Structure 1
Amino acid sequence: MPETATPAGPVAGGEAAGPVTLLGIRHHGPGSARAVAAALAELKPDAILIEGPPEADALIPMAAHPSMRPPVALLVYADADPSRAGFWPFAEFSPEWIALRFGIDADIPVRFIDLPSGHRFAALPQDEDAEDREQGTASEDDQEEERHGEERHVLDSMRRTDPIAALATAAGYDDPERWWEDVVEQRANGTFSALDSFAAIADAMAAVRDQTRPEDEQREAYMRQCVREEIKAGRRRIAVICGAFHVPALAELGPAAPDVKILKELPKKAKTTATWVPWTHGRLSFRSGYGAGIESPGWYHHLFTAPDLVVERWLARVAELFRAEDLPVSSAHLIEATRLAQTLATLRGRTLAGLTEVTEAVQSVLCGGYDTQMALVRDKLVIGEDLGEVPPDVPVVPLAADLAKEQKRLRFQPKPGQTEAKLDLREPNPGDKSRLLHRLNILGIHWGTLGRSQGSGTFWETWSLDWQPEFAVKLVEAAIWGTTVATAASAKSADRAADAEQLAGITDVVEACLLADLPDALDPIMTLLADRAALDTDVAHLADALPALARTLRYGDVRGTDTSSLRKVADTLVVRIALGFPPACSGLDEDGAQKMRVRMDKTHQAVGLLDDAAAIQEWHRALRLVADREGMTGLLAGRALRLLYDAAKIDGDELNRRMGLALTPGVPPAEAAAWLDGVLSGGAMLLIHDPVLLGLLDRWIAGIPADTFTDVLPLLRRTFSNFEGPERRKIGELARTVGAAPVAGVAAGAEPPGFDRARADRALPVVRMLLGLGTKGETDA
C-alpha cells in the first residue's frame, strides 16, 4: 500500500490521521510562523523535515547558538566555482526558522529535504544557455503575446514562488499576510486549530496549482524520497514544513519508482560547501534559495514581535524616527493617525488595520500628504536595516576568517545600511582601515566607495560604506588568491598587471597597490611597468598611463611610500609624450580629436601634479607646437592655446591676435567653431573679463552665412552648454553692449588691435584692380 501524507488533518489522541503532516507555509511570513509554532506544539512530532539545502544539515545545531541572531542565511556554493552559489535566508519571523528552533530546543531530529544544490549547480550553465536560446528564437507574435499576457505570467510566477500571495491577490488583498490573518488565523475566534488552518491552505493550493516546471518535479521527487526514508526509519509523527505550493505534490507519496527515475536523470552532483552568513532585512526582498522575496520585512518583523497594539506600537516607532530627524510629531498626530487607520480598515471590511491603512494614515496625518517623509519610513521601518550575526566558529574560508580578524582588530565591524567613515591617514587605526578598504576593492569586494574628502590636505579620506551579504560569495571567490586579505590582494594585483593590454592598466594597478600598501606586489609590477613603458611607442597609451603615476607621486608621501622608482618612469614618460604628442594630434577626425583633447587635459593636469620644472617646460613646448602646427585640427589647436594661456605662457594680447585670425571669414565656420570650443571649454570667465575677445566672437557669429549657420549652431550650443547659468546670463548682458560697435570690442573710428595701415595701403591697388573698382580717386568719387 502506498504511504499517504496528511495535510494537517484532524487531531485525535495527540496524533494526526497519518504519519506525515504537511504544513504549507509562505516563506518569510509572520502569520505562517505563528501558525507553524502552534501546529508543532499541537502535533508533538518525532521528526521535522524542512524545505532547504541538505548540504547544510550539519549546520542546523548552530541555529541555537547564543551568538546567532537573525536575519541570517545559509550559503551553499560549488567548491570548483564559488560563483555558483545560493542563499537560503531566515528571519526571526520565517516559519522555517521557527521550525528549526523548535526542533533543536525539543531535541527532535531536523533535516533539510530540498533538492541538493550540487545538482542545480552542475546543471546551471546548460539551463542558462537553453533559456537564452529560447528567448533569442522567440517570434514577434510570441513577443506580442507575452506583452499582452504580462499579468497572467506574473500570476503564474507568483503561484510557483509565493502561492499565498496569489490567493491573497485573487481575494482582493494587497498584503498576503493580512489575508492570512483575516482568513486563517482570526477566523471563528480560534475555534479551529492551527492544523485545521494548514488543511484549509492545502485545499486552496490544490485549486491554485495548475502547472509545474521540471525543476519543481525534481525537487518534489526528492522531497518525497526523504519523507519515505523517515517513514522507513520508524517515525510516527513527521512534520514537513514546505512552501504551500508543494503541498499537493507531497500529499500522495505513491510508489517510489517514478521518483527514482526522475532523480536518475539529474546531472552528477557537484561538490559543495555550506555555511551561515549574516543577512539583512533589505535583502529579504530578493528571490533566493527556496522562496520569494517580501517587500516589507521591517513591518513583518513588527507584526511577529509586537505583543499587542500593533498599530499603536508601529506609529510610536514612526514618531521616534521622525523626532530623531527633527521632524515635529505630537501625541495628537498619533491619536489621529490611529483613528484614521482603524477607520480605513473598517471601511474596507478588515478586522484590523494593515500596512496599507497605516501607511496612508501616516502620510496623511504625519506627513501632510507629501511623499518625501514617507520615503524615510519605507527605508528605515517598512524595509528596515537590521543586520544579523553568526557565531565566530561558523566554518568559513581562511580569507573570510582573516577579514573578520582584521575587522575585530580595527573595531571596524559592518553596519546595516549606508554609513560614512572619515579617515585621517596620519593616525595608525584609520590608516589601517583605509588600507583594508583599498585591498578589498582590489579583490572586488566594494564594502567602501572612496569619495571626495571634506578635510583639508591629502591625508583625509571619506568613504561611503555599505556591506552587502553577497560579499560572502565574493570572499569565497577571492580565496583562490590567498589566505589573507593582504596576500590575496597582492596576488590579484600582480595577475592584473601581467594581463593588462595597455600601459594605463599597469599604472592603475600601481596606484591601487600604493593606496593598499602592498609592497610585495609593487616590486615585480614596477619592473613590468618599466619594461612595458620602454617598448610602448603609442603616445595615446603613454598619455593614458601618466595620470595614475602623477597622482601616486603627488600623494604617495602621505602613506610614507618610497616612490623614487616611479619618478624615473614618470620623467621618461613626460619626455616621450612631449616629443610624440604634436604629430599624434594631426590628421584626426572629430571623434579622434575629442579623445585626444581629453588626453591633453589629463596630461596637462598630471604634469602639474609632478611639480617638476623640466617636465613642465617640455610639456609646454609640446603645446606650443600643437597650437602653431599648420593644418592642426581646430579643436586641439584651440585647446592647446587655452592651456598655455591658463599657464601664463601667452598673454591676453596674443590670445586676442590668435582669436582674430581663427575667426576670420577665410576660415570655414565649422573649423572656427571647433577652435572656439577648444579655447572656451576651460570656462566662461575668459569672455566675461576680456571684452575684446567677446567682441571678436560677437562679430564672427553675426557674420556667419545663413546657409552654414545651421551646421555651426550645434557646435556653439555644445560649447556654451558647458557654462553655468549665471555665466551665460552675464555673457548675454555683455553681448548687448558690444553689438553696436562697428568692430566688436573697439571704439567707433578706432583701428582694431594689430592693424597695420601701411601694409593695407600697399595692397589696396591690387584689390581695386581685381574687383574692377578703378583707381582710388574714381572709387572715392
Structure 2
Amino acid sequence: MNHGGARVVLLGVRHHGPGSARAVSAALSAFEPDRILIEGPADADPLIPLAGAEGMEPPVALLAYREQDPKVSAFWPFAGFSPEWIALRYAIERGIGVGFCDLPAAASLSQDTKAQARDRDRDRTGDGPDPIARLAEAAGYADAETWWEDVVEHRGGRSGPREGARQADGGDSLAAFDAIAEAMAAVREHEPTPERDALREAHMRSVLRAALAEGARRVAVVCGAYHVPALSGICDGREAQPPAQAADKALLAALPKQTKATATKLTWVPWTHSRLSYHSGYGAGIGSPGWYRHLFETDDHVTERWLASVARLLRDERHPVSSAHLIEATRLARALAALRGRPLPGLAELTEATVAVLCEGREEPLALIGRELVVGEDLGTVPGGVPTVPLAADLAREAKRLRVPRTATRKQYDLDLRNATDLERSKLFHRLGLLGVDWAVAVGSRSAGTFRESWDVTWEPLFEVRLVEAAVWGTTVQSAATAKALETAEQTETLGSLTVLVQRCLTADLPGAVDPLIAQVQNRAALDTDIADLATALPPLAGILRYGDVRGTRADGLRTVVHGIAVRIAIGLPPACVNVDDDAAHALAPSLAKVHAAIQTLDEPAIRDPWMRALRQVADLGGAGAHGLLAGRAARLLSDAGVLGAEAVAALMARALSRGGEPAGAAGWLEGLLAGSGLVLAHDKALLRLIDDWLAGLDADRFEHVVPLLRRTFATFTAPERRTIGERVAHLGAPDGASALAERSAPPTGVAADWFAAALPTVRLLLTGSPSHPGSPSHPGSPSHPGGAVSAEVAPTRKLEPAP
C-alpha cells in the first residue's frame, strides 16, 4: 500500500504461528522497513528495549494492571515462535524504530467489563465472526486449525529436505501476505465488526498515520490477519481509502479517560508454554505450543525428529521403543497425511502413528507426551532491570538465597526442619500460602509434630499478578504475610478458623501476627458459648503447644487459652449432647474425637480429668436424653483410653439396646461406638451377642428401619473386620469355647482327611519343639483334649499314603 510516496506492508499473521513467524522474518528481510508497528498495547512502548536485554528469554508476557486494583489485569504473551516477537527482535537488533499500535492497556482495562467478557467468550468459543473457519469451510476442511496449518504453517511443499514451516524468500513472502489480506477482506465483507475490534482498528490506523506523518517511508505492520482489511482499506474487492481520520478520532474519544483510580502499570513477566495453550483460558491460545516450537526450530526432517523426541521420552519412562518402531511410525504418518490430502504429516497424523506403533495401541502414554512435548513446560525469564513491585523483588531475593529456582517443571522438596536452610524454605512457603501465592503446595503428611515436610513447587505466571495484588500488604514477604494475616483475622467469624490462622502464622514464623492473634483467640473464647466452635478451636492450639518447639517458635500465653477452652468444653459438653437432632449430632461427633486426641496428646491432668468426667456423663446419659450417636462415641473414647473396661461397655450397650428404647436411638449408639473400626466386635463375643440378641428381638417393622442404619456403620469397617465378625456370628450359638476351637482345630473331611491326620504330629513338633504322645493331655486323641472327639490318633512315624 502506498501513502504519499511512502510504502506500507501489512503482514497478517496467526498469533503464535511458526509458519507466520518464518514468513514475517523473510518478509522483513525482503522489505527492509524503517518503522515496524506491532499489534500490542501502545503504552508498553517504553518496555520494548527490554525485549533485547540479556536474560530476556521467551516465553514472556506483557502484564498490565491497575495500581489501585491489581486484580484488574491483562496479559499479552509472546513465545519464541510468535510473529510479533520475531518482529520485535528484528527491529531491536537492527536499530529500527518499533512500537505497539493496539489500544493502550489503560484503555483496554477501562472498557466496559461486560463488553470485554463478551469479546473474550467470542474469541474462545468461536461464537462470533470467525474468518479462519469460513475460509477453512470453503476449502473443504472440517476445522480451521488444520486448514491454517496446511496453508500457512506447512507452506513450502513436499520437496527438499525440510518438512514443515519452510517459507519462500523475497517477493514470494510479500505475495503470500497479500493473498491472506484478500481472503480476509472477502470474509469480512458481509460480517459486522464487533465494537471492541472497531475501537482497536481505529487506534491502529491512528498510530499508522502518526508514523507516516513523522516521516517513515517504509512501514511494516504486524497484526492479526483479521485486522488487515481494516488497515488496508480493501473492501468489496477494490482499493479504497481507510475511514477518515476524523471518524477514528470521534470513535476513540468515547473511550473512558484515565483517572487516578484507573492508572495502569506495565511490566514484563515470565510465561509458560502451558499458559499459551487453549486449556489455560487464554483467548488467543494454541493447542500445541511444544509442537509449534518444534516446527519453528527444526530445519529438516520434521517428522523424523519429532518421533525421535517421542521415542526418547518413552524410553526414559521405560517404554521399549526400537529403531524399527520409528521407521514404521514415520511411514504410517506420511501415509495418513497422503490419504487425507495434507501436504505434510501434522500433529494428528503423528499422534495416531505414535499410538499405533510406538505405544503398540495403548493410549495411556499420550498424557505424558501431551504434557512434555505437545504442550511443554518451558518457562521464560526476564532481566533484572524489569520494573516490578518491591514484594516481587523481595521474593526473588529470598528464592535465590534459599536456592529455590522458579521453574515451570514440578519439583519436590523434602525438608528437614532441623536444617537451617530447610527451615527457612518452610517459612517462605508458609508465608506465601498466607498471601495466596501457592508456589509451593504441601503434599503427604505434614504433621506439626515431625521434623519433615514435603512440598511440590511449580511456578505459574499467574503468581506474578498475585504478587502485585499482595503488594498492598507490604514490601517484603514477611511483612506482607503478617499484615494479611491480621486483616484476615478481623474478617474471621468463627473461633475455629481463627485458631487455624494462629497455627499457620506460627509455622510461618510471623511473631508480629502471633501475639495479637492469640489475644483475639482469648477474647473470643471467653465469650463463645458454642461447644462445637470451641471443640473446633482446641485441636490446632493443642498441636501448637505440643509441637511448637520443633520450629523454635514461641506461643507465650497460649497455654492459658488452651486450658480455658478445654475446661469450658468439659463443662458444656453434657448439656450440648442432650435434645439435639441427628444433623447436630453428626456435626458434633467428629469434634469429640479430635478434642479427645488433642487432650490425650497434651497429657495434662488439669485438662484431661475434667474431660474424662464429661465423657462419662455423656456415656451415662445414653437413652436418658443424650443423642445415641454422641453417647456411643463417648463410650468408645472412654474404652480406647482404658477408662471403661469391657464389662462397663457391655453394661452401657445393654442399657442402650434395651427393648424399651427407640430402635433408631440404639442404632445411633452403635454407630457412635463402632464407627471407623470393627475390632471391638471382632474380639468381644459378649458385645457381639448383645447386638445379635437385640436384632433378633426386633419386630419386622423396626428391623427394616434399623438395618440401613447398621449397614451404614458396618460399611466403615475394613473387609477383614467384616469377615471376622461374620465368622464370629456364625458360631454365636455354640457353647463357650467350642466355636473358637472348631475354627482352630477342626480337621478337614473327605479325601484330604488322612493327609491332614498324617501331617498333624509333624506340625505339632515344629511348633512346640516336642512330640506329644497318645494319652497325654495335649494329644488330640486324649479323652481330656477338647478336640478328642473329632481328632484321629496317629503315630508320629506314620507313612503318608495317597488319599483314596
Question: How much has 1:633 moved relative to structure 2?
Answer: 0.5
Once the two structures are superposed, the pairs formed by residues 185-200 of structure 1 within 5 Å of their partners are: 185-186=156-157, 190=168, 193-200=172-179
> For residues 263 and 707 of structure 1, what CA distance do their matches in structure 2 show?
78
Aligned partner of residue 727 in structure 1, secondary structure: helix
Question: How much has 1:182 moved relative to structure 2?
Answer: 7.0
> For residues 447 and 432 of structure 2, what CA distance do their matches in structure 1 show?
24
Bigger mean CA deviation after superposition, 658-667 or 73-82:
658-667
Aligned partner of residue 40 in structure 2, secondary structure: coil
Q: Deviations over 1:729-751 (max 9, x none)?
A: 3333333333x46999999xxxx
The answer on whether the counterparts of 1:698 and 1:744 sit within 8 Å (CA) in structure 2 is no
Choose which of 227, 241, 249 in structure 1 pairs with 2:222: 241
Letter in structure 2 aligned against 1:244: A
Aligned partner of residue 52 in structure 1, secondary structure: strand
Q: Deviations over 1:692-748 (max 9, x none)?
A: 22233233334433324443343223212222233333333333333x46999999x
Bigger mean CA deviation after superposition, 197-206 or 512-521:
197-206
Bigger mean CA deviation after superposition, 396-405 or 601-610:
601-610
Residue 51 of structure 2 is matched in structure 1 by 63
Distance change (3 Å), C-alpha of 1:162 and 1:483 = farther
Distance change (3 Å), C-alpha of 1:128 and 1:64 = closer
Question: How much has 1:125 moved relative to structure 2?
Answer: 4.4
Residue 320 of structure 1 is matched in structure 2 by 312
Distance change (3 Å), C-alpha of 1:76 and 1:272 = same
> For residues 274 and 185 of structure 1, what CA distance do their matches in structure 2 show?
39
The answer on whether the counterparts of 1:581 and 1:622 sit within 8 Å (CA) in structure 2 is yes
Once the two structures are superposed, the pairs formed by residues 177-576 of structure 1 within 5 Å of their partners are: 178-181=149-152, 184-186=155-157, 190=168, 193-209=172-188, 210-252=191-233, 253-269=242-258, 270-286=262-278, 292-453=284-445, 458-576=450-568
Bigger mean CA deviation after superposition, 520-529 or 118-127:
118-127
Bigger mean CA deviation after superposition, 103-112 or 722-731:
722-731
The answer on whether the counterparts of 1:26 and 1:164 sit within 8 Å (CA) in structure 2 is no
Aligned partner of residue 111 in structure 2, secondary structure: helix
Residue 750 of structure 1 is matched in structure 2 by none
> For residues 535 and 392 of structure 1, what CA distance do their matches in structure 2 show?
52
Question: How much has 1:84 moved relative to structure 2?
Answer: 0.4
The answer on whether the counterparts of 2:141 and 2:147 sit within 8 Å (CA) in structure 1 is no
Matched, 1:98 2:86: yes
Choose which of 34, 41, 57 in structure 1 pairs with 2:29: 41
Choose which of 603, 617, 624 in structure 2 pairs with 1:611: 603
Gaps in structure 1 of 5+ consecutive residues: 7-15, 136-149, 748-781
Distance change (3 Å), C-alpha of 1:472 and 1:176 = farther
Aligned partner of residue 468 in structure 1, secondary structure: coil
Residue 759 of structure 1 is matched in structure 2 by none
Letter in structure 2 aligned against 1:667: G
Question: How much has 1:437 moved relative to structure 2?
Answer: 0.3
Bigger mean CA deviation after superposition, 522-531 or 45-54:
522-531
Distance change (3 Å), C-alpha of 1:127 and 1:358 = closer
Letter in structure 2 aligned against 1:264: A
Aligned partner of residue 372 in structure 1, secondary structure: coil
Letter in structure 1 aligned against 2:418: R
Letter in structure 2 aligned against 1:100: L
- What number of residue pairs does the alignment pair up? 717
Letter in structure 1 aligned against 2:13: I
Letter in structure 2 aligned against 1:315: L
Residue 628 of structure 2 is matched in structure 1 by 634
Letter in structure 2 aligned against 1:735: V
Matched, 1:732 2:731: no
Question: How much has 1:347 moved relative to structure 2?
Answer: 1.8
> For residues 468 and 364 of structure 1, what CA distance do their matches in structure 2 show?
34
Distance change (3 Å), C-alpha of 1:162 and 1:525 = farther
Aligned partner of residue 365 in structure 2, secondary structure: helix
Q: Deviations over 1:458-491 (max 9, x none)?
A: 0100112221110000000100110000111111
Distance change (3 Å), C-alpha of 1:52 and 1:744 = farther
Distance change (3 Å), C-alpha of 1:594 and 1:289 = closer
Once the two structures are superposed, the pairs formed by residues 65-144 of structure 1 within 5 Å of their partners are: 65-125=53-113, 127=115
Gaps in structure 2 of 5+ consecutive residues: 160-166, 234-241, 741-804
The answer on whether the counterparts of 2:275 and 2:282 sit within 8 Å (CA) in structure 1 is no
Aligned partner of residue 268 in structure 1, secondary structure: coil
Letter in structure 1 aligned against 2:673: V
> For residues 521 and 254 of structure 2, what CA distance do their matches in structure 1 show?
53
> For residues 133 and 474 of structure 2, what CA distance do their matches in structure 1 show?
41
Residue 612 of structure 2 is matched in structure 1 by 620
Residue 649 of structure 2 is matched in structure 1 by 655
> For residues 114 and 341 of structure 2, what CA distance do their matches in structure 1 show?
50
Bigger mean CA deviation after superposition, 174-183 or 543-552:
174-183
> For residues 164 and 409 of structure 1, what CA distance do their matches in structure 2 show?
54
Residue 700 of structure 1 is matched in structure 2 by 694
Distance change (3 Å), C-alpha of 1:586 and 1:167 = farther
Tell me the C-alpha RMSD between the 2 structures: 3.0
The answer on whether the counterparts of 1:162 and 1:291 sit within 8 Å (CA) in structure 2 is no
The answer on whether the counterparts of 2:26 and 2:168 sit within 8 Å (CA) in structure 1 is no
The answer on whether the counterparts of 1:88 and 1:288 sit within 8 Å (CA) in structure 2 is no
> For residues 363 and 200 of structure 1, what CA distance do their matches in structure 2 show?
37
Q: Percent sequence identity over matched residues?
A: 50
Distance change (3 Å), C-alpha of 1:52 and 1:230 = same
Distance change (3 Å), C-alpha of 1:287 and 1:457 = closer
The answer on whether the counterparts of 2:290 and 2:374 sit within 8 Å (CA) in structure 1 is yes
The answer on whether the counterparts of 1:421 and 1:464 sit within 8 Å (CA) in structure 2 is yes
Aligned partner of residue 329 in structure 1, secondary structure: coil
Letter in structure 2 aligned against 1:107: G
Aligned partner of residue 295 in structure 1, secondary structure: coil
Output the TM-score relative to the length of structure 2: 0.84
Question: How much has 1:129 moved relative to structure 2?
Answer: 9.5
Distance change (3 Å), C-alpha of 1:602 and 1:153 = closer
Aligned partner of residue 266 in structure 2, secondary structure: strand
> For residues 680 and 367 of structure 2, what CA distance do their matches in structure 1 show?
44
Aligned partner of residue 217 in structure 2, secondary structure: coil
Once the two structures are superposed, the pairs formed by residues 160-179 of structure 1 within 5 Å of their partners are: 170=141, 175=146, 178-179=149-150
The answer on whether the counterparts of 1:5 and 1:22 sit within 8 Å (CA) in structure 2 is no
